[in-house]
Amino acid sequence: MLSLRDRLSGGLVGLLVGDALGVPYEFLSPSEVPALSTIEFVPPPNSPRPAHSVPPGTWSDDGAQALCLLSTLLECGSLDLQLFSRKLLQWRFEGEFTPDKKVFDCGIQTQAALKSLAQGVPPDRSGPSGEQDNGNGSLMRVLPLALWHKGSDEQLYSDARHQSLVTHGHLRSQLCCALYCLWAKELIDGHSDAWDLAGDKFRNLGGSDPSSARETEFILDESHLGSARGSGYVLNSLWSARIAMQEPDYESVVRAAVAFGNDTDTTACIAGGLAGIRDGFASIPERWRNSLRGSHVYEPLLKGLLRARE
């Protein structure tokens, strides 16, 4: 039986390791990704040249924004969108929450939202909210909310939606974040049928108005299993992680996530955090834990998280 400490540590480090594992393979097609057994922080010989020239074991914008969110929660004891927004701006323009004070990746929607924030737009209205503005930028960072949260399902659902507004304001992005957090919470509680339990709660919580109810049913539609391909679309990312989570252990989950190709770091980040919760900290291969860079950044936040949940 895994302890709460094991699951929380596994979730945060699993997220960062998954992100870092996917970085060297970002934007590759599935056919270009190397064989599953050879997917490592350092790609095998003759692999396509990585899109980013960063040292192996470096997390990207996914991990950095997740740490921005965790830092906000620990500092305020609540979800404060103003502080969260300031931390996102510190990340983007000062390199905070990165291993090297260097930012090498930032999504188009997030860039637009941060520009709005810098111009004084309130954080609950800064995220683009059109139908085409459903990238995975708010989903990739939301897991620390579920790791930190000790409130009700209703509060977690609401907070997950609100943190999305800063960069991704469309209802679909908000609700994907909410479902993901409910899923993570069921895994933290040790439930093997976490997806099904989370889906039931998600459906109940989303039935309060017609728009949310329709979007909720659309998100839960299992036909998405057939179209998941690791893209940057929020719903595709969620269902790609769902497929990867069918693998039996952490290493297999994140490698399966990378094997989708395309937005490999984000898919492996989203799935890796969940697999780390499910399987515990020790399930993350030691070679990856030891090669993960930026311990001076994430370890104090992890310690703060564990204290907050004691």
For residue range 190-205, list pLDDT tens digits in order. Answer: 999 999 999 999 999 9
Residue 166, strand partner residues = none
Give the separation between CA 184 and CA 139, rounded to whole angstroms: 12
Q: Give 215-274 pLDDT, tens digit per residue.
A: 999 999 999 999 999 999 999 999 999 999 999 999 999 999 999 999 999 999 999 999
Residue 208 pLDDT exceeds 90: no
Cα-Cα end-to-end distance for the chain: 18
Which pLDDT score is estimated for 231? 97
User: Which residues make Cβ contacts (< 8 Å) with residue 32, sequence separation at least 6?
Assistant: 47, 48, 261
6 within 8 A of 280, measured Cβ to Cβ: yes
**Can you give the residue ranges of every domain in the chain?**
4-46+57-308
- Taking residues 16-38, report their average pLDDT: 98
Determine the distance from the C-alpha atom of residue 233 to the mean position of all C-alpha atoms in its chain, rounded to a whole number.
13
pLDDT tens readout for residues 108-154: 999 999 999 999 999 999 999 999 999 999 999 999 999 999 999 99
Distance separating alpha carbons of residues 166 and 290, to the nearest angstrom: 33
- How far is the CA of 232 from the CAs of 26, 40, 56, 251, in angstroms? 11, 22, 22, 22
For the segment 32-87, what is each residue's pLDDT rounded down to a tens digit?
Answer: 999 999 999 999 998 999 989 999 999 999 999 999 999 999 999 999 999 999 99
The answer to whether residue 1 scores a pLDDT higher than 90 is no
Assigned token pair, 119: 């111009």
On the question of pLDDT at 207 being above 90, the answer is no
Q: At what angle do helices 210-220 and 194-205 cross, to 10 degrees?
A: 160
Q: Which CATH superfamily is domain 4-46+57-308 in?
A: ADP-ribosylation/Crystallin J1 (1.10.4080.10)
